């Protein structure tokens, strides 16, 4: 009972303080829309909305979760408010799950924005919504834990943003979001399969367009493995760098 109350209290505080602020809500809506419009603007021919939808959804989750979490954790660390949380009578694992759940929910909501817009512009019949939701959830979890790992590895907010881009921008071009991995140079394809977003996007492409190239069960397994490794690595960094 005490652990559940602590979890919900920390989550509720973060939602009020960070994720439900009007600028963040508007940013969560504008960012996916901006990506969608960019693809309309850059193409002289009609854009296949179903084709670009998996990539826009994945990018919305990736940038939303990593941007919010890496900044909020780093900011709380600098203001020493995070140290007060470390004194709470709950396990470090539960504390970090409470701190990351808000970002996971924020990422899922971000992914729903392009879906809503796409529903008005094209027919989404035939989509496997259960697999799509599972993929979005795991992308959100993996991206959030990546943001957590970044946040606990740096000391300044600007370092967190720079470090985030070190991972995010390669993912944009190497994970099959808009360019099929088969079309990439052979020398960089192995790197594509070392990035977690590749597997999340492939499940979304299978769920929405039935054109994935990786077995969904393998993609889900890899995403869970990435999530566990990133979370454990983050906890190790916290214990080593923040708890003396």
Cα 210 from Cα 224, distance rounded (Å): 22
Would you say the pTM of this structure is higher than 0.95?
A: no
Which residues in the chain land under pLDDT 50? none
User: Tell me, what's the pLDDT at 183?
Assistant: 85
User: Tell me, what's the pLDDT at 186?
Assistant: 86
User: Tell me, what's the pLDDT at 36?
Assistant: 63
User: Do the Cβ atoms of 61 and 136 come closer than 8 Å?
Assistant: yes
Of residues 98, 112, 108, the one with CA closest to residue 231: 98
What is the extent of the structural domain holding 103?
2-241
- Indicate the angle between helix axes 49-79 and 157-174, nearest 10 degrees: 160
Give burial (CB, 10 Å; 0-12/13-18/19+) of 147. Answer: buried
User: Tell me, what's the pLDDT at 232?
Assistant: 94
User: Tell me, what's the pLDDT at 94?
Assistant: 87
Residue at token pair 């994720």: 19
User: Do the Cβ atoms of 149 and 237 come closer than 8 Å?
Assistant: yes
Give burial (CB, 10 Å; 0-12/13-18/19+) of 205. Answer: buried
User: Tell me, what's the pLDDT at 23?
Assistant: 61
User: Tell me, what's the pLDDT at 101?
Assistant: 92
How many domains does the chain fold into? 1
The DSSP result for 93-122, as a single string, is HHHHHHHHHHHHHHHHHHHHHHHHHHHHHS
User: Tell me, what's the pLDDT at 139?
Assistant: 96
């Amino acid at each position: 009972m005490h652990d559940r109350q602590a979890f919900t209290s920390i989550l509720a505080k973060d939602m009020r303080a960070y994720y439900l602020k009007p600028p963040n809500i508007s940013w969560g809506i504008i960012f996916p829309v901006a990506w969608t419009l960019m693809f309309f603007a850059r193409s002289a021919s009609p854009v296949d909305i179903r084709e670009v939808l998996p990539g826009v959804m994945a990018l919305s989750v990736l940038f939303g979760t990593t941007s919010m979490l890496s900044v909020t954790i780093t900011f709380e660390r600098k203001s020493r408010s995070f140290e007060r949380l470390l004194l709470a009578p709950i396990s470090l694992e539960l504390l970090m799950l409470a701190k990351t759940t808000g970002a996971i929910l924020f990422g899922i909501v971000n992914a729903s924005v392009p879906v809503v817009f796409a529903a008005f512009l094209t027919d989404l019949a035939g989509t496997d919504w259960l697999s799509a939701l599972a993929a979005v959830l795991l992308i959100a979890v993996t991206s959030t834990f990546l943001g957590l790992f970044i946040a606990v590895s740096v000391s300044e907010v600007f370092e967190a943003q720079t470090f985030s881009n070190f991972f995010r921008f390669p993912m944009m071009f190497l994970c099959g979001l808009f360019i099929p991995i088969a079309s990439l140079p052979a020398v960089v394809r192995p790197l594509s399969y070392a990035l977690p977003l590749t597997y999340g996007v492939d499940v979304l492409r299978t769920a929405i367009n039935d054109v994935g190239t990786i077995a969904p069960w393998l993609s889900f397994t890899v995403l869970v493995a990435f999530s566990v490794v990133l979370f454990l690595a983050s906890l190790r960094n916290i214990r080593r760098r923040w708890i003396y």
